[in-house]
Every structure is written in C-alpha cells, then in structure tokens.
C-alpha cells in the first residue's frame, strides 16, 4: 500500500523525531536518499550525461526553505563524488546557510547566469519549495522552471514538484514537472491526487525514520498488487453461483445497446456467480454473452440479486433508477443514473445498504452544481464533498481515480494504475460492470470501487502493451489477465 499523510501530520511527526536526534540528522538522511536516487539516475544514463556521476553537470534550484536545504546538501554530496554542481538561488539572501556552505566546501558554486547553467545540465534538482510551498511558482521562478523543463536534463523533485499544493493536490499556478520525485518519510496527498500527481513522474520514497511515529491511518492510500489480491473474492469448495453473488445490471437502451454489452462484459470478469441483465438490449447482450441471464424489465420482477448496477447508456428512460435504489442491496449508480440522482438527491435518503457513485468530472460537476473545470482542478476536494453530501461512497474517474467514503476519517483511495488509453468510449461501462460484480461478491463499496479501478487500469495497460489504441471491449477481455497478474504477484 502506498500511503500519504498531510503536511500537519508530517510536521508533527518530524518534530517528535527531531527532538530525539542530533540536530540536522533528518535533513542529512533526506539528502543521502536524494543523492543515491540522483546517482542512480545519472549512472543509468538518464538525461544527457555519460552514464556517470563523475563529470556530470548538476544544477540545484534552491528556494528559501528546508526543501532548498535538502537540495543543497544533496548537491554537496554529488560534488564530492565528482559532479560539477551549480546552485541557482531563488532567494539569494535566504538560502539555507548550512546547505550553501556545504555545497561551497565541496567545490560547488553559485550560478552567475541560471539559464547558462541549465543549458548544459544533465540533472536538475528541484528544491524550490516542498511542503511549505503555496500559491504556485512565484513569477521570478517561472522562467527558470521553464528553462529547466526545456533543457535536456532529467528533473528530480525534492519531496514534491515545486508549485503543487501538498495537501490538496491542486496546482494553482505554474509548477515544475519532474521525471522523478524523491519524497521523504511518507507520501503527501498531492502525489496521489490529480492534477498535482501528473507533475511528479516516478515517485520514490526515502525512509527518514518516521515510520513508527506517523499515525497508522493515512489521509490517502493507493492499493498495490498485493492489496488487490487480498481483496478479490475467491470461490471456495462450497460456492455455488448464488453464494458467489448475482449482479443485476440495468443499462443500455434501444439507442445505446453497446453500454449494456460492455457493462455485462465487465461484470462477467468480476467474479460474480451470475450476471442478470435487465433492459431493452437483451438481444445484443445474449448475442455476445449466452451465459448472461436476461429480462426485459422492470428490475423488481427480474429475480434476486446481491447488487445492482444502474445507469450506463439508459438514455432518458430513468424510472428504473428509483426502483433499484429502493432495493435493500448494494447499488452502483453510473452515467445516466447519476443524472437522475442530480435531479433528485432524495432518492438516496432512505438507503441503508451501500451505494457507490461512479461519476467522471462532468457528472461530478452536475452533482455538485459546479463546472467540470472546478472539479478537475480540485479532484480530492470534489470527491470528498460528493461522498459527504450524498452520503455515498464516490469513485471520481480521471487520470487518477479517487474513491472516498462518506466518513471523512476513512482514507481516500487513489488509483494510480490508470493509463491515457482508458479515455475511450465505453470504458466507464466496463468499470461499472466490474465494480458492481465485486459488490455482489461481498466487497465494501470502497474496496469494490478501488479494486475495480486498479484491475481496469492494469487491464488497459496489458491490452495497450504494444502501444496500439485499445477498445473498451479489449479492456474487458484483458481483465482476466489483470486478475491473474495481481494474484500471482500477490502470492495467493
Ligand atoms: N526540517 C527537517 O529537518 C526536514 C525537512 N524536510 C524538507 O523540508 C521541507 C519543508 O521545509 P520548509 O518548511 O522550510 O518549507 P519549504 O522549503 O517547502 O518552503 C518554505 C519557504 O518557501 C517560501 N514559499 C512558500 N511558497 C512559495 C512559493 N510558491 N514560491 C517561492 N517560495 C515560497 C516560504 O516563504 C518559505 O520561506 C520539506 O518539503 C522537505 O523537503 C525533510 O527533509 C525532512 C527533514
Ligand atoms: K521541490
């Protein structure tokens, strides 16, 4: 599991640890980890260097805080290993004194002209701001950050890409996009939530000894293979199709039969014992999936299910949404179902069984009565607000998918397994089917949503492995392989 803690939590834990250790220990641990990561990058030949630390050209962008201190100390360590290190001081009179002295003592120097230095750099260390940064890059830092990004150098962010907001994942102005982010002690929410996450590149965690001090419940978490493997239902010897769960799907219409087919395709790979389709696309569903149980409607007459999925491709025939939400089983509401809910939130009021909402940014905007742009700029705030306002677990789709429970103390789950290939028609229908199927298998709404998002992303990566565009049907088809992947790595 990847976990992220808020800035306040990190500062409290750091203060507690610092009180027990000689002064400067934490910063030296951070600088040592940073140096190791940079040395590895330089040796691997990333950037324009010759595959060595010795003789490579490193530029340290140092702001006025401890983030700049970390970067300067790492610069000093690289200089001692033979790198030519130049510091660009964003606030010359407030640079970290110890870090600057160490850099000078190791043979590093302060740049006369930042742009000349960046022109020939192999690696740039971004120490402009870390967890103390707010409001995006300052105007004087913007041209320097642009020159760094435009150079041939590999960019390594210290703790966080400068310009992102650590706690909210928002990017209020310009920020410096990194190839690698070396984060200290624990991840910060902005590394697991969009849009900030897209600035971080690969994330590498350096242990500075906060492990035993940080609270065990983080603010955000991201499942990994092993976590997903442990969540997936596994049929036992006593299972029959009803015990494995029957998932009911109300989707598709004469106009959009494909949504029904794709939702059924996702559901059939979610481990449920049977998939019951209800709606106007029975012929299309049966033609593709003879194993599906079909019923023309209404849902109440279709037979028992352990969960319902309602919404994909329903069009304007939305009476079934209220009917399904009145059932005492877990319900996943997607697409057109969410439109109905935005018009009548009271449909959720009397529900005792779990509800999972799966909006994309546009649907989330309608549910929150705001704009898509606002949702995309503040994804973490939006998913939390949706979950509390509607009293339902909410999965907000995007380049980073977030899943929040109504209880704000429950960590938000972030799915970092997505791929841009998933931005294709019908991929949400497959995800809804898969997540609803996991609900029928007995997973909580939060587990079902986050495990489904993970498998869905992994399947898309598998299907797009040779770099060709994938269709949603191919993503559904690759779900079996994704499931096997996590099982094998998960060791179960
Ligand atoms: N204190 C320690 O011993 C440790 C500190 N750590 C490092 O310290 C960082 C936090 O240090 P600070 O609290 O000094 O905070 P930062 O270094 O993130 O930045 C704070 C400084 O930047 C200024 N600032 C804020 N927003 C800005 C912006 N948009 N543009 C330019 N300047 C801006 C502030 O006025 C302040 O002077 C962490 O991110 C981490 O890198 C870690 O190494 C762990 C150990
Ligand atoms: K930084």
pLDDT tens digits along 125-156: 999 999 999 999 999 999 999 999 999 999 99
pLDDT at 277 over 90: yes
* pLDDT at residue 464, rounded to an integer: 87
pLDDT at 466 over 80: no
Domain enclosing residue 151, as ranges:
2-222
Is 96 among the annotated ligand-binding positions? no
Residue 421: which pLDDT band, with cuts at 50, 70 and 90?
confident
Residues 353 and 454 in one domain: yes
Q: Measure 157 CA to ligand 1 centroid, in angstroms.
A: 13
From the CA of 136, give the closest atom in ligand 1: 29
pLDDT at 196 over 80: yes
Nearest CA to ligand 1 atom 24: 133
CB-ligand 1 contact for 274 (6 Å cutoff): no
- The side-by-side arrangement of strands in the sheet containing 293-295 is 2-4, 220-222, 412-415, 401-404, 393-396, 355-357, 331-333, 307-310, 246-250, 274-278, 293-295
Q: Which residue has the tokens 């210290």?
A: 158
Q: What is the SS3 assignment for 272-308?
A: CCEEEEECCCHHHHHHHCCCCEEECCCHHHCCCCCEE
pLDDT tens for each residue of 385-416: 999 999 999 999 999 999 999 999 999 999 99
Strand-pair partners of 156:
125, 180
pLDDT at 186 over 70: yes
Q: 189, 222, 255: which is the final residue of a domain?
A: 222
Nearest CA to ligand 1 atom 25: 133
Average pLDDT of the residues in 450-458: 97
pLDDT at 266 over 80: yes
Q: 222, 255, 287: which is the final residue of a domain?
A: 222
**Does residue 258 contact residue 287 with C-beta atoms inside 8 Å?**
no
Average pLDDT of the residues in 6-13: 98
Average pLDDT of the residues in 175-183: 98
Residues 386 and 422 in one domain: yes
Residue 489: which pLDDT band, with cuts at 50, 70 and 90?
confident
* pLDDT at residue 67, rounded to an integer: 98
Residues 165 and 262 in one domain: no
Count up the domains in the chain and report the number.
2
Mean residue pLDDT of the chain comes to 94
Q: Measure 41 CA to ligand 1 centroid, in angstroms.
A: 24
Is 5 among the annotated ligand-binding positions? no
Residues 125 and 158 in one domain: yes
Q: How far apart are CA 489 and CA 482, in angstroms?
A: 11
pLDDT at 238 over 70: no
pLDDT at 354 over 90: yes
Provide, rounded to the nearest whole percent, the portion of the chain with pLDDT above 90. Answer: 87
**Does residue 393 contact residue 356 with C-beta atoms inside 8 Å?**
yes
Residues 46 and 140 in one domain: yes
Average pLDDT of the residues in 261-282: 95
Lowest mean pLDDT among 225-239, 259-273, 436-450: 225-239
Of the listed ligands, the closest to the CA of 163 is 1
pLDDT tens for each residue of 60-108: 999 999 999 999 999 999 999 999 999 999 998 999 999 999 999 999 9
Residues 369 and 257 in one domain: yes
Provide, rounded to the nearest whole percent, the portion of the chain with pLDDT above 70. Answer: 97
Is 51 among the annotated ligand-binding positions? no
* pLDDT at residue 239, rounded to an integer: 64
The residues near 195 (Cβ < 8 Å, ≥ 6 apart) are 169, 170, 171, 376, 377, 379
Average pLDDT of the residues in 247-276: 94
CB-ligand 1 contact for 159 (6 Å cutoff): yes
* pLDDT at residue 316, rounded to an integer: 87
* pLDDT at residue 422, rounded to an integer: 80
CB-ligand 1 contact for 138 (6 Å cutoff): yes
* pLDDT at residue 323, rounded to an integer: 95
Residues 328 and 399 in one domain: yes
Residues 194 and 235 in one domain: no
Residue 242: which pLDDT band, with cuts at 50, 70 and 90?
low
Q: Measure 156 CA to ligand 2 centroid, in angstroms.
A: 8
**Does residue 99 contact residue 123 with C-beta atoms inside 8 Å?**
no
Average pLDDT of the residues in 426-430: 94
Residue 237: which pLDDT band, with cuts at 50, 70 and 90?
low
* pLDDT at residue 233, rounded to an integer: 84
Strand-pair partners of 308:
248, 331
Give me the CATH number covering residue 58. Answer: 3.40.50.10260
CB-ligand 1 contact for 209 (6 Å cutoff): no
pLDDT at 492 over 60: no
The residues near 222 (Cβ < 8 Å, ≥ 6 apart) are 1, 2, 3, 192, 413, 414, 415, 416
Residue 240: which pLDDT band, with cuts at 50, 70 and 90?
low
Q: 191, 222, 253: which is the final residue of a domain?
A: 222
Residues 291 and 421 in one domain: yes
The count of other CB atoms within 10 Å of the CB of residue 385 is 18
Q: Measure 136 CA to ligand 1 centroid, in angstroms.
A: 13
CB-ligand 1 contact for 130 (6 Å cutoff): yes
Residues 217 and 231 in one domain: no
Structure tokens at 80: 């001692």
Q: Measure 346 CA to ligand 2 centroid, in angstroms.
A: 45
Give me the CATH number covering residue 295. Answer: 3.40.1190.20
Lowest mean pLDDT among 49-53, 302-306, 438-442: 49-53
Residues 211 and 233 in one domain: no
pLDDT tens for each residue of 301-348: 999 999 999 999 998 888 999 999 999 999 999 999 999 999 999 999
Q: Measure 46 CA to ligand 1 centroid, in angstroms.
A: 27
CB-ligand 1 contact for 14 (6 Å cutoff): yes
* pLDDT at residue 147, rounded to an integer: 98
Residues 183 and 331 in one domain: no
Nearest CA to ligand 1 atom 41: 67
């Amino acid at each position: 599991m990847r976990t992220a803690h808020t800035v306040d939590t990190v500062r409290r834990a750091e203060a507690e640890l610092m009180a027990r250790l000689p002064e400067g220990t934490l910063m030296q641990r951070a600088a040592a980890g940073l140096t190791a990561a940079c040395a590895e990058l330089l040796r691997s030949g990333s950037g324009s260097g010759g595959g060595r630390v010795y003789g490579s050209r490193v530029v340290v962008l140092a702001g006025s805080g401890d983030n700049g201190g970390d970067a300067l100390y790492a610069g000093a360590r690289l200089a001692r290993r033979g790198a030519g290190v130049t510091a660009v001081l964003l606030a010359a009179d407030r640079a970290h004194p110890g870090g600057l002295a160490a850099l000078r003592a190791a043979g590093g120097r302060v740049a006369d002209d930042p742009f000349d230095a960046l022109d020939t750099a192999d690696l740039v260390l971004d120490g402009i701001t870390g967890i103390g940064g707010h409001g995006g890059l300052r105007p004087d830092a913007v041209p320097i950050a642009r020159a760094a990004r435009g150079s041939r150098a590999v960019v390594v962010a210290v703790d966080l890409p400068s310009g992102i907001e650590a706690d909210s994942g928002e990017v209020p102005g310009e920020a410096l996009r990194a190839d690698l982010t070396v984060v200290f002690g624990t991840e910060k929410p902005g590394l697991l939530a969009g849009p900030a996450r897209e600035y971080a590149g690969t994330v590498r965690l350096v242990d500075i000894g906060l492990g035993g001090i940080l609270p065990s419940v983080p603010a955000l978490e991201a499942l990994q293979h092993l976590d997903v493997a442990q969540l997936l239902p596994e049929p036992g010897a006593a299972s029959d199709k009803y015990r494995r769960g029957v998932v009911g799907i109300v989707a598709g219409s004469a106009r959009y039969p494909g949504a029904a087919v794709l939702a059924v395709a996702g559901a059939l790979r979610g481990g449920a014992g049977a998939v019951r389709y209800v709606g106007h696309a029975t012929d299309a569903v049966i033609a593709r999936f003879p194993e599906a149980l079909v019923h023309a409607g209404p849902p109440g007459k279709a037979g028992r299910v352990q969960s319902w999925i309602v919404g994909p491709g329903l069009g304007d025939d939305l009476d079934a949404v209220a009917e399904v939400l009145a059932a005492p089983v877990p319900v996943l509401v997607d697409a057109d179902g969410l439109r109905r809910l935005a018009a009548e939130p009271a449909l959720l009021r009397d529900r005792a069984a779990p509800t999972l909402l799966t909006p994309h940014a546009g649907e989330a905007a309608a549910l929150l009565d705001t704009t898509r742009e606002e949702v995309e700029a503040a994804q973490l705030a939006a998913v939390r607000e949706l979950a509390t306002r509607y009293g339902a677990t909410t999965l907000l789709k995007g380049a980073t998918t977030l899943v929040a429970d109504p209880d704000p103390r429950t960590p938000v789950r972030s799915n970092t397994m997505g791929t841009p290939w998933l931005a294709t028609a019908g991929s949400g229908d497959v995800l809804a089917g898969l997540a609803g199927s996991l609900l029928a298998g007995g997973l909580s709404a939060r587990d079902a949503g986050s495990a489904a998002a993970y498998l869905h992303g992994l399947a898309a990566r598998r299907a797009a492995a040779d770099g060709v565009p994938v269709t949603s049907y191919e993503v559904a088809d690759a779900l079996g392989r994704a499931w096997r992947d996590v099982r094998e790595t998960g060791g179960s």
